[in-house]
Amino acid sequence: MHYHLCPFVADTRMTESIAELYGAHHRTLRTRHSHALIASGYDWLVIYSGNAHPQFLDDSLCPFRANPHFKTWVPLPEHQGGAIVVGRDAEPRLVYLQPEDYWHSPPADPAGYWTEFFDLRTARDDSQVISALTGLTGKVAVIADDTAPAEIRSLGTLNPAKLTDLLHFDRSTKTEYEVECMRRANAIAVRGHRAAEAAFRDGASEFEIHMAYCSACGQSPNELPYDNIIALNGHGAVLHYHEYEHDRQPPRAFLIDAGASYNGYAADITRTYSAANDDFAALIESVDRAQQEICQNAQPGVDYVDLHRDANTRLAQVLVDHKVLECNAETAIETGLMATFFPHGLGHYIGAQVHDVGGHQATPAGDQRPPPPEHPFLRLTRTLQPGTVCTIEPGLYFIGMLLDELRNTDAGKTVAWKRIDEFVPFGGVRVEDDIYVTASGNENLTRAAFK
């Protein structure tokens, strides 16, 4: 086989660009955190990076994901046991845990463009981390999970809602540094997607395709922002399929939902392929065309709920055009048919987390705008603003249990069931890009990377 690519390596020009952007990013974070501290009545905020959870009844550790509040400050997505201290006016402090340990490789000395912006304090164990965090005068807030030592969680109010709501609302607007990190994450992920498509066309198994993807990205499964979905044939009907079967099977269709990370920021990309130039390939082309039209409409001032509703109408028309439905698109929407074929939301915010926070948050005070009852799985209900980054991922699926529920209903009488049977072995179609909303329109980070 010939689908393995060399891993991604950043060049010095990229590093210089990131260094220039980080300074402005750091100043923005200081302003946001100072405002949030004052508005919520706190003097200090301690952000603990977190620790890996041990497996039950074992000393082996689960894959680690740093506290997203921590990794927005520093490009240390794998750093455990450290903390950042932010005050209303003081220079941010980084307590960097660098244990003396012969069981594991200790973290290297902190170095790079970002270190000059912090009061750096190195600690050799948890007790030194705790000592470096105590003695703060005034009212303290702590953002941490349950892996933080009790002494750190008790330094102040743990995860206060008023403070975190303010920070989560602001985090939906990305700095240029964050957008650049996501551009680079998309570039890395595209390398993996190209290798994965080649592996599929060479007849590789799901596991082999997954390995080809990781090799091309130069990232291990634990470094990727989420577990890859590598679904051959009918497995594409499972929305979160993670089995990675080792056995090869005659290739018919391939759905891949896979991302990559850069400085802790994520890319999230989905593509679907057919092995032949057949009716399923034509269906993919129609979904892709509809997805691009939806992406173009992801403009500043657009209500994402309206964007999702528009996606439903466009996808209904695709089903009509491909003779899956024997009614018109309007009827398919009115009767609720689309819940069978498009059962998830159009997309979500993305950034330091794949499903970034604040998607349902209507105000900085934490008021929520839940998804409409007819679209309960929609993760984003806000009006798009310049600086936000979201995914656009419409899909059409042939899911057995949902089709069975539809078959004996009145709405099911408008479905061409013989046509459904033709598509069931292919699973489903999803196409996903990451969209950066700008003041004048948007930038498709994913399509630019594919070019």
CATH of the domain at 183: 3.90.230.10
State the Cα–Cα distance between residues 430 and 236, nearest whole angstrom.
9
Q: What is the pLDDT of residues 163-172, one digit of tens each?
A: 999 999 999 9
- Where are any strands of DSSP class E within 383-432? 389-392, 395-397, 428-430
Are residue 269 and residue 375 in the same domain, yes or no? yes
Q: Contact 268/350 with Cβ under 8 angstroms?
A: yes
Q: Contact 265/185 with Cβ under 8 angstroms?
A: yes
Are residue 289 and residue 422 in the same domain, yes or no? yes
Q: What is the pLDDT of residues 170-196, one digit of tens each?
A: 999 999 999 999 999 999 999 999 999
Which pLDDT does position 12 carry in this prediction? 44
Average pLDDT rounded to a whole number, residues 46-74: 95
Are residue 137 and residue 182 in the same domain, yes or no? no
Q: Which of 115, 132, 159 is the last residue of a domain?
A: 159
Are residue 314 and residue 191 in the same domain, yes or no? yes
Which pLDDT does position 393 carry in this prediction? 98
Which pLDDT does position 3 carry in this prediction? 35
Which pLDDT does position 9 carry in this prediction? 39
Instruction: Evaluate whether residue 411 is within a structural domain.
Output: yes
At 16, is the pLDDT very low, low, confident or very high (cuts 50, 70, 90)? low
Are residue 135 and residue 202 in the same domain, yes or no? no
Encoded tokens for 136: 């703060």
Place of tokens 């700095």: 175
Are residue 152 and residue 183 in the same domain, yes or no? no
Strands 44-48 and 83-87: antiparallel
State the Cα–Cα distance between residues 412 and 407, nearest whole angstrom.
5
Q: Which of 131, 159, 187 is the last residue of a domain?
A: 159
Task: Reply yes or no on whether the pLDDT at 5 is more than 70.
Answer: no
Residue with the bigger pLDDT between 296 and 5: it is: 296
Are residue 257 and residue 202 in the same domain, yes or no? yes
Instruction: Evaluate whether residue 18 is within a structural domain.
Output: no
Name the average pLDDT for the chain: 95
Which pLDDT does position 104 carry in this prediction? 83
DSSP string covering 237-248: GSTT------S-
Instruction: Evaluate whether residue 28 is within a structural domain.
Output: no
Average pLDDT rounded to a whole number, residues 148-160: 97
- What percentage of residues in the chain have a pLDDT greater than 90? 93
Are residue 84 and residue 228 in the same domain, yes or no? no
HSE (CB half, 13 Å, CA atoms) of 225?
27
Nearest to 169 by CA among 451, 432, 367, 339: 367
Instruction: Evaluate whether residue 32 is within a structural domain.
Output: no
Average pLDDT rounded to a whole number, residues 192-221: 98
Q: Which of 159, 193, 213 is the last residue of a domain?
A: 159
Task: Reply yes or no on whether the pLDDT at 155 is more than 70.
Answer: yes
Number of domains in the chain: 2
Q: Contact 44/86 with Cβ under 8 angstroms?
A: yes
Which pLDDT does position 103 carry in this prediction? 82
Are residue 142 and residue 233 in the same domain, yes or no? no
Global pTM? Answer: 0.94
Instruction: Evaluate whether residue 430 is within a structural domain.
Output: yes
Planar angle of CA 334, 338, 342, nearest 5 degrees: 155
- Where are any strands of DSSP class E within 78-205? 83-87, 93-97, 119-123, 140-143, 157-158
Which pLDDT does position 18 carry in this prediction? 94
Instruction: Evaluate whether residue 34 is within a structural domain.
Output: no
Q: What is the pLDDT of residues 274-329, one digit of tens each?
A: 999 999 999 999 999 999 999 999 999 999 999 999 999 999 999 999 999 999 99
Instruction: Evaluate whether residue 29 is within a structural domain.
Output: no
Q: What is the pLDDT of residues 219-240, one digit of tens each?
A: 999 999 999 999 999 999 999 9
Q: How many CB atoms lie within 10 A of CB 91?
A: 11
Instruction: Evaluate whether residue 444 is within a structural domain.
Output: yes
Q: How many CB atoms lie within 10 A of CB 347?
A: 28
Average pLDDT rounded to a whole number, residues 64-85: 97
Domain that holds residue 128: 43-159
What amino acid occupies position 113? Y
Kindly report the CATH number assigned to the domain that includes residue 139: 3.40.350.10
Average pLDDT rounded to a whole number, residues 129-146: 96
At 143, is the pLDDT very low, low, confident or very high (cuts 50, 70, 90)? very high
Q: What is the pLDDT of residues 367-410, one digit of tens each?
A: 999 999 999 999 999 999 999 999 999 999 999 999 999 999 99
Are residue 268 and residue 413 in the same domain, yes or no? yes
Are residue 221 and residue 329 in the same domain, yes or no? yes
Encoded tokens for 252: 């018919």
Encoded tokens for 140: 């303290």
Which pLDDT does position 15 carry in this prediction? 61
Are residue 401 and residue 433 in the same domain, yes or no? yes
Q: What is the pLDDT of residues 330-355, one digit of tens each?
A: 999 999 999 999 999 999 999 999 99
